[in-house]
């Protein structure tokens, strides 16, 4: 089992829980600010930047997945999070990553898959 | 590779790392035990660390490199490594491998810190030099590196099409678990935390993941290899119901669980939404703009500014001089009405400084107002996006904007039109008459034949189409109505209104409501043709039309119109308010409210009254309020649904009223038990008819004599059974206390007396001794009382017998005694006992006849008159009640009859004696049903006068023998027979001898021989009628088995003697009742049911029940 793990938000009810637009991990804004996104920080650059967090994460998500063993989990694979850290993920996240990140992804030849399930293949 | 391994080399110098790891992840700490010795100088580096974190990012992008020169060699070294570890912990394995080479080297040097540090520093320096030399190259390196890491991050996954990710049999299964609705997300979090907690325990959770969907309430899904693992994981969590089944999700359904897509509710500028919460709850608003992340939208809507602010303080704080509101009615609890922002108005109320103007925009109380609208940002979650259904009114309001000026630019009706069109599809039904309003077929109309999704096929009307159907998109048809159609509104604010269409323009239909006779405009989609005339709903929530409701502390009002979810209320000041059910604090009951009209008469609900001044309006009283306001209703007025409010003092009754109040005041002597003779006193007080029940203890000054409040003085405010609520004079407190703990403070002196005296001592409240002014019930209670209290009637049984078969009690509703004692209002009481009810309501033919002759006891009876009328009528319904076979006839017939007869005989037969006088009233219903009771002279008085001239009564014996009376009244009452208590004193019987009797009811305090002779049988030798109440009438009875053998013949009070009924043929009998009363006869036959055929000595054959017969011992 991988040791990497995201901060688990203490209060599931908290309204301000935010999901990363790219990897769909759910954290509190404080965690995002303190540690950034555990999966895609190097792209998103959220750590310490509140406005960046606002742009790269959203409160509009539906469904919460507790991924306990990402490697073993089909759910995580389906969600394409099986290479990510353990933690809480959203099933569906509304919104798109900021343009600069999308451009960056494109420049690296990575296909961006929005997590709003608007594109299915 | 594990973190521990990775971290190992840094642990030497990697305190920063260590510290941070510890801070954020417990787990890591376990793997990576801190080294306390190293900790000591962590602290001062912590700040730096943050700084470095930021720098790292910059550094990585090759921007902030120069800063690095500031750092120590160790710091630099750590920085590089820490960065990898922190941010790319598990992502860049290959990269790490490369570094690990280096790291491993470092590890080898672990024992030699200094040397290693130097190495690192050298490395770093080299690297830095490199950087400095070729920034561009570095940048490329960096981007190379990140490309690789990013590829790692999502690369291999995002290229795979989703369908290749479908679950296979090798994957763990999904299990559906029921949970408490609303707890889904919490439980997923709980499971996650539990899994982390137990990870390194003996029994770690075996589940792989768990998830929840908002659209699937009440269940979560757990990914695990077996159901057991799921139940183990769920064990101990609250709100999860594994007992309701852990259901395996079929593989093919797994993916769809994660694909569920809520219907996207997108808002676009211009669309309509409703505000969910707050002051503007339910208000319509238009979207102006949406923030980038879609979380907030800028809305424009009609403000609700309180132009009568309540709180002076808030205005003062703002440093404004407040102009007093025009009405002075504070409305802070009420929602201010929608009203466009008007600079002048607001400035008038809040002062000039409260409003500032910038460009075209006013700012007031931190809100922005433009063109009269308020513009405000709302979170999307606080808005209702679907089913907005803006009504025409709302849209028009928006369109017209402030000052009624056209404001078309701001409102795009197409959006609502579109919405309404969509909705229209769903409301189409086969058979609806529709017209095509767009497309090629525009103008065609016909009836809907069928609907398939969005396609309707219609049967057009017209010559060109004979019989062919055309198919059309549903959106291009709309329901068609023409003036004259009778329609009903199906949805919306005007739902259930019906009316006649007066005009149609496009999709807006205007009709004349059947109810309000006003024109109503609605969308045609909301209409349907209907023949019925709708009533609309009169009930919303707990309130209904014409209820008196409390709006706030000072205001009450009457609902005169109910709308879909609100009311129109006319308050006591004549103002109309639109309120919602939640704004009503309570419903008021004004049934007991008292008001007096212009003539001082009592004004009661449902009275028909008219105004003496003003407009002279007439109406029916709906409610009265504070004895001052009267809410009236008259259908003839259109305004406010016919409800209007006026002052009670300006009303007079339309129908002349009986001077009820005056009667009560006129003859106080009748209400005073002390003035009316003896027990009769109880009958008065009927003058109080119409006054609701009220405990006479209320208002009595008392002293608490026991308990913690002992010694306190107060006044009884309310009573409830044995508990009284006492308002203490001290401390302004109301306490609930047992009545036993209270003593009455007799008014002038304050002498303490038992509380019961207080009741008796307040005669003006009602009929003294009997506690009841109720003439109806009085009769029963009164009779009971008499039996118990009258000295000469020294038998408790009289009381008992009356009580047991008490018709009220038997009727199963209201114990007579209770009812009598509590309820001074016969009508109110009647409501509880069906028999009485009908009696008091049905027109009674005997009413008039009863009045005067039925007053054998004189004036005191006067009050009872209305009672009797009711009672006479009650006889028949009561009878049916009693005729039920369930009643043990024997016991009933015998027990009370003896005493009764005796009593009657003892009393002065004619009207002079009170006993027979009130006897008829005694067991109210008994008399009504039983012929035996009727045999009591008193009863006959009451009845006979209905038919026979008064003269008959001069000698009631005659009256009794009047066949018309007995037969007429009781002919149809076979089977219901009650022998009077003093049957031996009856005419035609008192002169007989040889009757076989049994001593009954001789027990008790007033008993005879202490009941020693109870059950003894004997033969009557003679009867001595004293014709007096004072001296008991007696009979000489010979007992075959006397207690004292020397005295076989004893004088026995007639009351205790009950007849022995014949049982066998050939027994000699005396007929006690009926036309042949007093005749000696012989039993010929005994028929089932106790009926006997007897032949009198006059050779008249009679069929009679045995309880009307007494055995005769012929040889006496």
The residue with greater pLDDT, B8 or B693, is B693
| The domains spanning B431-529 and B697-761 adopt the same CATH topology | yes
- Least-confidence region, from B343-357, B404-418, B581-595: B404-418
The residue-averaged pLDDT of B1002-1006 equals 62
Contact B293 A113 (CB under 8 A): no
Does the structure show a pLDDT above 90 at B72?
no
The residue-averaged pLDDT of B722-748 equals 83
Does the structure show a pLDDT above 60 at B856?
no
* B545, B538 Cβ separation under 8 angstroms: yes
Sign of the alpha-carbon torsion through B492, B494, B498, B499: negative
The residue-averaged pLDDT of B231-260 equals 87
What is the CATH T-level fold of the domain B431-529, as seen in this structure? SH3 type barrels. (2.30.30)
pLDDT in tens, B1052-1063: 888 788 888 888
In angstroms, the CA B548 to CA B557 distance is 6
Taking the domains of chain B in order of start, what are their residue ranges? 3-158, 164-259, 272-410, 431-529, 539-657, 697-761, 775-972
**B182: nearest CA in chain A?**
A13
* B126, A13 Cβ separation under 8 angstroms: no
* B353, B316 Cβ separation under 8 angstroms: no
* B584, B549 Cβ separation under 8 angstroms: yes
In angstroms, the CA B130 to CA B144 distance is 16
CATH number, domain B164-259: 3.30.70.940
pLDDT in tens, B307-345: 777 655 444 444 444 444 344 344 445 778 888 888 888
In angstroms, the CA B899 to CA B103 distance is 120
DSSP codes joined into one string, B819-848: HHHH---HHHHHTTSHHHHHHHHS--TTHH
**A74: nearest CA in chain B?**
B171
Contact A43 B155 (CB under 8 A): no
pLDDT band at residue B987, thresholds of 50, 70 and 90?
confident
Separation of CA B979 from chain center: 51
Q: How many residues does chain A have?
A: 121
* B455, B474 Cβ separation under 8 angstroms: yes
In angstroms, the CA B570 to CA B578 distance is 9
The residue with greater pLDDT, B411 or B967, is B411
**pLDDT number for residue B931:** 39
Determine the residue among A66, A97, A105, A114 to mutate to test chain B binding: the one whose Cβ has the most chain B Cβ atoms within 10 Å: A66
Tokens 């003006």 locate to B764
In angstroms, the CA B912 to CA B919 distance is 13
pLDDT in tens, B272-318: 888 888 888 888 888 888 876 667 888 888 888 887 776 554 444 44
**pLDDT number for residue B354:** 82
In angstroms, the CA B435 to CA B444 distance is 6
* B27, A5 Cβ separation under 8 angstroms: yes
Q: Which residues of B touch A85 (CB under 8 A)?
A: 89-90
The residue with greater pLDDT, B379 or B1008, is B379
CATH number, domain B697-761: 2.30.30.30
Average pLDDT value for chain B: 66
**Residue B353 CB neighbours (<10 A):** 11
- Least-confidence region, from A33-47, B255-269, B377-391, B861-875: B861-875
CATH number, domain A18-107: 3.30.40.210
* B525, B478 Cβ separation under 8 angstroms: yes
- Residue B666, CA distances (Å) to B659, B661, B687, B760, B792 in order: 10, 9, 9, 21, 34
The residue-averaged pLDDT of B993-1011 equals 73
Find, among B925, B921, B1022, B916, the residue nearest to B959 by Cα: B916
The residue-averaged pLDDT of B351-357 equals 83
The residue with greater pLDDT, B639 or B146, is B639
- Least-confidence region, from B243-257, B510-524, B631-645: B510-524
In angstroms, the CA B112 to CA B92 distance is 29
Does the structure show a pLDDT above 50 at B942?
no
In angstroms, the CA A91 to CA A31 distance is 20
Residue in B28, B154, B211 closest to A75 by CB: B211
**What percent of chain B lies above the pLDDT cut of 90?**
2
Contact A34 B294 (CB under 8 A): no
User: Which residues 6+ apart lie within 8 Å of B429 measured at CB?
Assistant: B448, B451
**pLDDT number for residue B950:** 38
* B970, B932 Cβ separation under 8 angstroms: no
In this prediction the ipTM stands at 0.95
Look up residue B424 and give its two tokens.
């229209």
- Least-confidence region, from B202-206, B524-528, B940-944: B940-944
* B967, B960 Cβ separation under 8 angstroms: no
pLDDT band at residue B12, thresholds of 50, 70 and 90?
very low
Residue in B57, B191, B255 closest to A78 by CB: B255
- Residue B1003, CA distances (Å) to B488, B792, B983 in order: 76, 15, 19
Tokens 């913690």 locate to B708
Residue in A12, A72, A108 closest to B185 by CB: A12
The residue-averaged pLDDT of B1015-1023 equals 83
**pLDDT number for residue B446:** 85
pLDDT in tens, B76-123: 555 544 444 444 444 444 444 444 444 444 444 455 677 777 777 777
Does the structure show a pLDDT above 90 at B40?
no
Does the structure show a pLDDT above 80 at B25?
no
Q: What is the largest CA-CA distance in chain A?
A: 38
Does the structure show a pLDDT above 50 at B175?
yes
Find, among B274, B300, B275, the residue nearest to B287 by Cα: B300
pLDDT band at residue B834, thresholds of 50, 70 and 90?
very low
**A57: nearest CA in chain B?**
B293
**pLDDT number for residue B536:** 53
* B421, B475 Cβ separation under 8 angstroms: yes
**Residue B222 CB neighbours (<10 A):** 32
pLDDT band at residue B586, thresholds of 50, 70 and 90?
confident
In angstroms, the CA A60 to CA A119 distance is 18
pLDDT in tens, B1026-1067: 777 677 788 888 888 777 777 778 888 887 888 888 888 888
Contact B154 A88 (CB under 8 A): no
The residue with greater pLDDT, B966 or B756, is B756
Does the structure show a pLDDT above 90 at B904?
no
pLDDT band at residue B347, thresholds of 50, 70 and 90?
confident
Tokens 């005169």 locate to B560
For residue A118, give how far its alpha carbon lies from the nearest alpha carbon of chain B (Å): 9
**A52: nearest CA in chain B?**
B293
**pLDDT number for residue B400:** 65
Find, among B32, B15, B19, B129, the residue nearest to B74 by Cα: B15
For residue B626, give how far its alpha carbon lies from the nearest alpha carbon of chain A (Å): 50
In angstroms, the CA B718 to CA B726 distance is 7
Contact B211 A72 (CB under 8 A): no
């Amino acid at each position: 089992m991988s040791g990497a793990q995201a901060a688990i938000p203490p209060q599931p009810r908290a309204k301000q829980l935010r999901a990363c637009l790219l990897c769909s991990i759910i954290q509190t804004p404080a965690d995002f600010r303190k540690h950034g996104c555990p999966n895609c920080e190097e792209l998103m650059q959220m750590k310490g930047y509140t406005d960046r967090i606002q742009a790269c994460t959203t409160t509009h998500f539906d469904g919460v997945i507790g991924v306990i063993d990402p490697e073993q989990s089909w759910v995580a694979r389906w969600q394409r999070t099986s290479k990510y850290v353990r933690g809480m993920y959203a099933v569906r996240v509304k919104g798109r990553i900021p343009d600069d990140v999308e451009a960056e992804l494109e420049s690296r030849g990575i296909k961006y898959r929005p997590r709003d399930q608007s594109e299915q293949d | 590779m594990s973190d521990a391994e990775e971290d190992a080399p840094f642990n030497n110098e990697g305190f920063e790392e260590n510290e941070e790891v510890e801070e954020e992840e417990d787990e890591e700490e376990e793997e990576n035990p801190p080294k306390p010795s190293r900790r000591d100088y962590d602290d001062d580096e912590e700040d730096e660390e943050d700084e470095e974190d930021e720098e790292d990012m910059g550094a990585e992008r090759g921007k902030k490199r120069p800063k690095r020169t500031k750092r120590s060699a160790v710091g630099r070294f750590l920085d590089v490594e820490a960065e990898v570890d922190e941010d790319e912990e598990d992502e860049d394995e290959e990269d790490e491998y490369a570094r690990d080479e280096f790291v491993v080297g470092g590890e080898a040097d672990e024992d030699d810190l200094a040397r290693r540090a130097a190495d690192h520093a050298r490395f770093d320096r080299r690297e830095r030099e490199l950087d400095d030399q070729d920034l561009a190259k570095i940048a490329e390196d960096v981007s190379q590196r990140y490309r690789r890491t990013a590829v790692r991050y999502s690369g291999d996954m995002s290229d795979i099409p989703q369908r290749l990710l479908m679950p296979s049999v090798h994957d763990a299964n999904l299990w559906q678990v029921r949970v408490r609705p609303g707890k889904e997300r919490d439980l997923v979090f709980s499971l996650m935390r539990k899994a982390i907690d137990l990870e390194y325990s003996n029994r770690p959770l075996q589940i792989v993941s768990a998830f929840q969907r908002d659209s699937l309430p009440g269940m979560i899904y757990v990914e695990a290899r077996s159901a057991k693992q799921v139940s183990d994981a769920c064990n101990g969590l609250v709100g999860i119901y594994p007992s309701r089944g852990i259901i395996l999700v079929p593989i093919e359904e797994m993916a769809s669980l994660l694909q569920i897509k809520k219907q996207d509710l997108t808002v676009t500028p211009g669309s309509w939404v409703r505000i969910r919460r707050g002051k503007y709850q339910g208000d319509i608003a238009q979207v102006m703009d949406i923030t980038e992340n879609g979380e907030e939208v800028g809305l424009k809507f009609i403000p609700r500014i309180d132009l009568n602010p309540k709180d002076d303080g808030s205005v003062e704080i703002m440093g404004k001089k407040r102009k007093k509101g025009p009405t002075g009615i504070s409305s802070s609890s009420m929602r201010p009405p929608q009203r466009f922002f008007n600079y002048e108005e607001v400035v008038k109320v809040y002062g000039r400084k409260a409003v500032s103007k910038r460009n075209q925009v006013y700012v007031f109380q931190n809100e922005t107002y433009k063109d009269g609208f308020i513009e405000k940002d709302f979170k999307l979650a606080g808005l209702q996006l679907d089913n907005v259904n803006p009504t025409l009114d709302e849209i028009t309001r928006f369109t017209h904007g402030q000052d009624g000026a056209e404001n078309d630019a701001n409102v795009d009706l197409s959006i609502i039109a579109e919405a309404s069109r969509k909705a229209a599809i769903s409301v189409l039904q086969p058979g609806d008459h529709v017209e095509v309003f767009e497309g090629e077929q525009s103008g065609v109309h016909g009836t809907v034949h069928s609907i398939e999704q969005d396609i309707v096929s219609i049967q057009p009307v017209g010559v060109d189409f004979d019989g062919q159907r055309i198919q059309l998109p549903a959106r291009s048809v709309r329901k068609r109505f023409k003036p004259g159609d009778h329609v009903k509104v199906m949805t919306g604010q005007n739902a259930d209104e019906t009316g006649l269409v007066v005009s149609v323009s496009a999709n807006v239909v205007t009709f004349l409501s059947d109810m309000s006779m006003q024109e109503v405009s609605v969308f045609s989609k909301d209409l349907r043709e209907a023949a019925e005339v709708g009533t609309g709903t009169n009930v919303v929530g707990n309130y209904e039309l014409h209820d008196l409701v409390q709006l706030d502390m000072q205001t009450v009002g009457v609902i005169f119109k109910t709308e879909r979810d609100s009311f129109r209320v006319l308050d006591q000041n004549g103002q109309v308010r639109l309120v919602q059910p939640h704004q009503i604090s309570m419903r008021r009951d004004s049934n007991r409210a008292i008001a007096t009209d212009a003539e001082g008469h009592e004004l009661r609900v449902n009275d028909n009254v008219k105004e003496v001044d003003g407009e002279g309006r007439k109406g029916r009283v709906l409610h009265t309020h504070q004895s001052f306001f009267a809410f009236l209703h008259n259908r003839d007025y259109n305004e406010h649904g016919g409800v209007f409010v006026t002052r009670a003092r300006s009303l007079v009754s339309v129908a002349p009223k009986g001077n009820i109040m005056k009667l009560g005041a006129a003859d106080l002597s009748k209400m005073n038990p002390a003035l009316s003779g003896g027990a009769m006193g109880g009958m008065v007080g009927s003058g109080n008819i119409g006054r609701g029940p009220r405990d006479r203890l209320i208002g009595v000054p008392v002293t608490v004599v026991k308990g913690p409040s002992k010694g306190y003085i107060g006044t009884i405010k309310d009573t409830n059974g044995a508990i009284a609520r006492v308002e203490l004079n001290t401390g302004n407190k109301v306490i609930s206390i047992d009545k036993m703990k209270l003593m009455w403070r007799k008014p002038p002196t304050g002498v303490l007396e038992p509380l019961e005296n207080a009741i008796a001592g307040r005669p003006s409240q009602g009929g003294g001794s009997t506690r009841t002014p109720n003439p109806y019930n009085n009769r029963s209670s009164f009779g009971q009382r008499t039996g118990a209290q009258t000295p000469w009637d020294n038998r408790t049984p009289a009381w008992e017998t009356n009580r047991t078969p008490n018709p009220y009690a038997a009727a199963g509703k209201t114990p007579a005694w209770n009812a009598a004692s509590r309820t001074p209002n016969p009508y109110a009481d009647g409501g509880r006992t069906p028999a009485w009810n009908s009696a008091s309501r049905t027109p009674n033919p005997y009413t008039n006849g009863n009045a005067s002759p039925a007053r054998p006891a004189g004036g005191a009876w006067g009050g009872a008159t209305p009672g009797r009328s009711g009672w006479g009528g009650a006889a028949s319904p009561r009878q049916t009640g009693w005729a039920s076979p369930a009643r043990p006839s024997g016991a009933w017939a015998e027990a009370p009859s003896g005493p009764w007869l005796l009593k009657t005989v003892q009393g002065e037969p004619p009207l002079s004696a009170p006993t027979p006088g009130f006897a008829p009233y005694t067991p109210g219903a008994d008399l009504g049903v039983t012929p035996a009771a009727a045999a009591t002279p008193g009863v006959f008085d009451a009845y006979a006068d209905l038919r026979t001239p008064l003269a008959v009564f001069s000698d009631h014996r005659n009256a009794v023998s009047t066949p018309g009376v007995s037969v007429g009244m009781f002919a149809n009452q076979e089977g219901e027979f009650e022998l009077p208590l003093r049957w031996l004193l009856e005419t035609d019987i008192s002169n007989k001898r040889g009757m076989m009797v049994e001593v009954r009811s001789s027990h008790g305090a007033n008993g005879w021989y202490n009941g020693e002779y109870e059950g003894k049988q004997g033969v009557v030798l003679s009867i001595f009628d004293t014709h007096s109440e004072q001296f008991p009438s007696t009979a000489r009875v010979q007992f075959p088995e006397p207690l004292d053998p020397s005295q076989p013949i004893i004088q026995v009070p007639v009351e205790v003697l009950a007849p022995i009924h014949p049982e066998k043929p050939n027994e000699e009998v005396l007929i006690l009742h009926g036309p042949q009363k007093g005749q000696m006869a012989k039993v010929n036959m005994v028929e089932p049911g106790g009926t006997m055929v007897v032949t009198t000595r006059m050779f008249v054959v009679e069929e009679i029940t045995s309880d009307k017969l007494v055995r005769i011992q012929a040889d006496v």
